[in-house]
Amino acid sequence: MKTLLEMSGVSVSFDGFRAINNLSFRIGEPELRAIIGPNGAGKTTFMDIITGKTRPDEGTVIYGEKSISLLKMSESQIAMAGVGRKFQKPTVFEAQTVRENLAMALKNKRGPVDVLLYRKTRRGAERIEEIAGIIGLSDQLPRIAGELSHGQKQWLEIGMLLAQDPRLLLVDEPAAGMTPAEREHTTDLLKRAAEKHAVVVVEHDMEFIRRLDCKVTVLCEGSVLAEGSLDHVTSNPQVIEVYLGR
């Protein structure tokens, strides 16, 4: 398993408050990794740093075989390099149809001229149908995304993530608003994606994490508190104190 992303010594402050504190993290490809931690631990901020939304005050973030630094790249360049993200609060384009949402995410050239001259292809349409099937929205394709339920929006966003075909998938609280059956389905999806790619999942649901059956990183106050198997970290007294013993 080769390293895909390596973060070291990263710190971020918001108005003097240290949200991320000397954080180091690495993930290989393929690998599935769960991140847990109390509210405000910095889990979402961690993803913001990788995707270029937040610039760290110090530290390095190295990505890929060529060890490029993500800190010098714009959000769109990072996304094009193969980093995809599902946001904590589902953010889909509510004024557009499910199909348009997926089509926009589909892996294709992203320049204005390419997009202007883009012609629908059979392969693209098939891929959209395929993803819609996976996320259970096959008969919702012509619907306006704003009309979907919260859970369906979660699915759509997962579908958009899959459509991008990224190498590193950052998935922030995918199970919120989902039924138990849907949660199980999500677990399967993430595990399948992690057969080839690197997948980072943030989730509070312990059952969900257990089913993922992977290495777990516990974040607290912006740094790593513990790392290892779920049983290993949940038996750590510090973890019990800050996270489990609530």
Complex with other proteins: residue 40 or 146, whichever CB lies closer: 146
Determine, following the binding rule CB under 6 A, whether residue 14 of this chain makes contact with ligand ATP. Answer: yes
Determine, following the binding rule CB under 8 A, whether residue 141 of this chain makes contact with other proteins. Answer: no
How far apart CA 21 and CA 58 sit, in angstroms, is 10
User: What is the closest distance, in whole angstroms, from the C-beta atom of residue 44 to Mg ion in the complex?
Assistant: 3
Determine, following the binding rule CB under 8 A, whether residue 142 of this chain makes contact with other proteins. Answer: no
Determine, following the binding rule CB under 6 A, whether residue 39 of this chain makes contact with ligand ATP. Answer: yes
User: What is the closest distance, in whole angstroms, from the C-beta atom of residue 73 to ligand ATP in the complex?
Assistant: 20
Quick check: 201 and 174 in contact, CB under 8 A? yes
Determine, following the binding rule CB under 6 A, whether residue 51 of this chain makes contact with ligand ATP. Answer: no
How far apart CA 229 and CA 218 sit, in angstroms, is 11
Complex with ligand ATP: residue 36 or 162, whichever CB lies closer: 36
- What pairs with residue 97 in β-bridges? 144
Complex with other proteins: residue 46 or 243, whichever CB lies closer: 46
Residue with tokens 């389905």: 185
Complex with other proteins: residue 2 or 119, whichever CB lies closer: 119
Determine, following the binding rule CB under 5 A, whether residue 51 of this chain makes contact with Mg ion. Answer: no
Determine, following the binding rule CB under 8 A, whether residue 196 of this chain makes contact with other proteins. Answer: no
Q: How wide is the angle at C-alpha 172 spanned by C-alphas 143 and 225, nearest 5°?
A: 175
Sheet with 198-202: strands ordered across = 83-86, 168-172, 198-202, 31-36, 215-220, 223-228
> Which position among 37, 56, 82, 166 is part of the footprint of ligand ATP (CB under 6 A)?
37
Determine, following the binding rule CB under 5 A, whether residue 88 of this chain makes contact with Mg ion. Answer: yes
Report the site for ligand ATP in 87-106 (rule: CB under 6 A). Answer: 88
Complex with ligand ATP: residue 19 or 212, whichever CB lies closer: 19
> Which position among 23, 29, 33, 42 is part of the footprint of ligand ATP (CB under 6 A)?
42
Q: Are strands 31-36 and 223-228 parallel, antiparallel or unpaired?
A: unpaired
Determine, following the binding rule CB under 6 A, whether residue 21 of this chain makes contact with ligand ATP. Answer: no
